[in-house]
Structure 1
Amino acid sequence: MLPRLASCCWSARFLSHSLLLSPLTSTRYNTKCLVNYNMTVDNNLLAEPMRRANFRLCNVSGHISEVLEIRAEAPKLHVLFVPGNPGVILFYKDFVEFLYELLEGTASVTVMFLRELAAIGHVSHSRKDLEKGRMFSLQEQIDHKIDFIREELQNIEIPILLVGHSIGSYISIEIFKKSPEKVKYCIGLYPFLTLNLQSTTQLFIGKIAKSQVLASALSYLIASLGLLPVRALRFMVRKSLGKSWSVNAVEAACSHLSQYHTMRNVLYMAMTEFRKLSETPDWTFMRERKAQLAFLFGVDDHWGPLNLLEESGSASIGEHV
């Protein structure tokens, strides 16, 4: 459920490649590639100043939501990122900034490829309990993102590209279905589209999530860790979960996941995810829109196993690493 932050560079590179070959524009753009053939970061390029994502709170249909964004003066494209579960948007700060930098380039006619990039977190997956203990289902999180597009992006005339991670891929597809006039392309990174009956991890999480007693107990246990000194909590997170995580990701885990309301919402959303994703994915829609869809699968990712690529019946809409 937690973000595969170690795959940030490759995920962003795949995403930019998919974007540049998408039907959003008839012009092919060159990207400023920040990774070399060995998939390591190019330190010379990273030494250049990088645009930082701005964090803000916005009101979406009465719900205070956390947003990261990088704006451009005259954008030609708006990229909207939808997180997985947990939907703590600060987990993805480095990814958002890296992606923006990776897409920075020039067209073959030397016209700047300008775009805006925004990332919106899930309701109540936040540091403060702004919803007073209310829990939000998968469908309510989908509706929340649709409302965000309607309220925050209603006046933009440029195409919207949706990028989803894990369950965010499923959410993005549902948004795509309901907003085809605005959304022109959708990319799923390590997509969670249906239950994996072979995954013991999913079985374990599912049993906890559907039990109010177990979900509450686990949430209280994790929240109690927030009473530890900050340095001790950081050490525990880095050693147990985030050995390859960035400083920003570790800080987000310490500040958000140590909140009772956040963990309860994570588990409640997981329960509704598992219930909905027990159904067969809408392969018909995805095949019909395969020119506007792209997926990145991981060979060791139980949330989006490679057999999904085979079941889709169209290898042209997915790749794996």
Structure 2
Amino acid sequence: MFLRLLLLLLLHPPTATVRPLPASLFFGSRTCSSSNCKIGEMGRQSFLPKAANFRLCNVSGFTTELLEVRSEDPTLHVLFIPGNPGVITFYKDFLESLYELLGGSMSVTAVGHISQSQKVDFIRQEMQDTEVPIILVGHSIGSYISIKVFQKSPKKVIYCIGLYPFLKLNPDSVQQSIIKKLARSSIACAAVSFIMASLGFLPSRLSEFIVAKSIGKSWSRTAIEATCSHLLKYHTMQNVLFMAKTEFEKLSEEPEWAFLKTNRSKIAFLFGIDDHWGPLKMFEEISGQVPEIALSIEREGHTHAFCCTVAGSTWVAQHVASLIKDKILTSD
């Protein structure tokens, strides 16, 4: 029960009845459904799908995890920044689907959580010898980080996509209030981390069974394995809660509207209907502040933790691939 409650708080939006949306909410926006998010062929028949490869990389003296699908001759490089808990293996299905939908013409790399400055260092270190432009894609707090990286690498980054973006604190969210109080207490953080780690000492089949029967009833095998291999560890949970604490500190401020307005043609956001991390009032606020920016609302029933299901991973990959095709490839 404790595992279910904690992970639902961290990974999922609250379960609620979906209310009809006012027509004004969609004014000037680009809404998206599964039927119009398909990117078409884009060379999908001319290459063999690849599995994402995991490797470790040293960036500015810190070891970070990478999950990547490399193209032989990439025209662009998609750099993905995950949300909290920053476990990139959750996104394996999404990354592989995106690579396939892009016809193998672009490399796709997910980089684990390191600081914003170190992500800029990663771009300089790993991509300084290539002229291939970068498309940043961020999920949740990764959307906020992506914008910060975009600000520091304007010559290298040509587009930025935020998925279910966590850009500002939501005072109406009970879940955020609970996590905020939990993350502020070192004793509570240690207790939670210890309990989670104790589950990690169970035989792998047993821990996977518990996850699958508690929070992962609709989850993909990829998500269940990522939970058991990464989240059920003391240091990982400490990092998750520390990052949550810093998120609440940083996101108490207003988004940098001036930067969004200046780069409105290079930024897009995808919101969910019932997502307390990226609520629709944030959608409305962006619409009012930057009316020309590309905004979409996912109405297919996926959650903030889209990467935990195959259907969610595939749909969001289709959406991102469509944005890349419509906003970048067709404009060249």
TM normalised by structure 2 equals 0.75
2:71 counterpart residue number:
72
Q: How many residues align structurally?
A: 267
Query: Residues of 2 paired with 1:16 and 1:220: CA distance?
Result: 44
1:39 counterpart residue number:
none
Q: 2:113 aligns with which of 122, 131, 140?
A: 122
1:126 counterpart residue number:
none
Query: Residues of 1 paired with 2:37 and 2:111: CA distance?
Result: 18
Structure with greater contact order relative to length (CA < 8 Å, sep ≥ 6) = 2
- 1:288 is the counterpart of 2:262: yes
1:187 counterpart residue number:
161
- 1:209 is the counterpart of 2:183: yes
Write out per-residue CA displacement over residues 14-65 of structure 1, whole angstroms, 9 at most, x where no aligned residue.
Answer: 9886xxxxxxxxxxx85479xxxxxxxxxxx9xx963111111111111111
Query: Residues of 1 paired with 2:283 and 2:123: CA distance?
Result: 29
- 1:55 is the counterpart of 2:54: yes
Identity across matched positions, percent = 55
- 1:2 is the counterpart of 2:11: yes
Query: Residues of 2 paired with 1:151 and 1:12: CA distance?
Result: 37
Query: Residues of 2 paired with 1:114 and 1:71: CA distance?
Result: 9
SS at match of 2:116: helix
Q: 1:169 aligns with which of 143, 149, 157?
A: 143
- 1:200 is the counterpart of 2:200: no
Equivalent pair of 1:194/1:279 in contact (CA under 8 Å): yes
2:244 counterpart residue number:
270
SS at match of 1:148: helix
Equivalent pair of 1:12/1:99 in contact (CA under 8 Å): no
Write out per-residue CA displacement over residues 41-97 of structure 1, whole angstroms, 9 at most, x where no aligned residue.
Answer: xxxx9xx96311111111111111110111112111000000000001111111100
Query: Residues of 1 paired with 2:192 and 2:74: CA distance?
Result: 44
CA drift of 1:13 comes to 9.3
Alignment of 1:29-108 (within 5 A): 31=42, 50-104=49-103
Alignment of 1:239-318 (within 5 A): 239-312=213-286, 313=288, 314-315=290-291, 316-318=293-295
2:330 counterpart residue number:
none
Equivalent pair of 1:162/1:183 in contact (CA under 8 Å): yes
Query: Residues of 2 paired with 1:62 and 1:268: CA distance?
Result: 20
Going from structure 1 to structure 2, the CA distance change for 1:152 and 1:16 (only over 3 Å counts) comes to farther
Going from structure 1 to structure 2, the CA distance change for 1:14 and 1:218 (only over 3 Å counts) comes to farther
Q: 2:130 aligns with which of 145, 156, 164?
A: 156
Write out per-residue CA displacement over residues 79-129 of structure 1, whole angstroms, 9 at most, x where no aligned residue.
Answer: 00000000011111111001111111xxxxxxxx72111111114xxxxxx
TM normalised by structure 1 equals 0.78
Write out per-residue CA displacement over residues 208-253 of structure 1, whole angstroms, 9 at most, x where no aligned residue.
Answer: 0011111111111111111212112111212222222211111111
Q: Structure 1 unaligned runs (5+)?
A: 5-9, 18-28, 34-44, 105-112, 124-140
Q: Residue type matched to 1:163 in 2? A: V
Query: Residues of 1 paired with 2:236 and 2:212: CA distance?
Result: 19
Query: Residues of 1 paired with 2:216 and 2:188: CA distance?
Result: 24
Q: Residue type matched to 2:108 in 1? A: L
Q: Residue type matched to 1:56 in 2? A: R
Going from structure 1 to structure 2, the CA distance change for 1:273 and 1:184 (only over 3 Å counts) comes to same
Write out per-residue CA displacement over residues 261-284 of structure 1, whole angstroms, 9 at most, x where no aligned residue.
Answer: 110011001101001101111122
Q: Over the residues paired in the alignment, what is the CA RMSD in angstroms?
A: 2.4
Q: Residue type matched to 1:320 in 2? A: I
CA drift of 1:317 comes to 2.3
CA drift of 1:194 comes to 0.4
Query: Residues of 1 paired with 2:69 and 2:33: CA distance?
Result: 19
Query: Residues of 1 paired with 2:80 and 2:176: CA distance?
Result: 24
Q: Structure 2 unaligned runs (5+)?
A: 1-9, 14-31, 299-332
Q: 1:224 aligns with which of 198, 221, 237?
A: 198
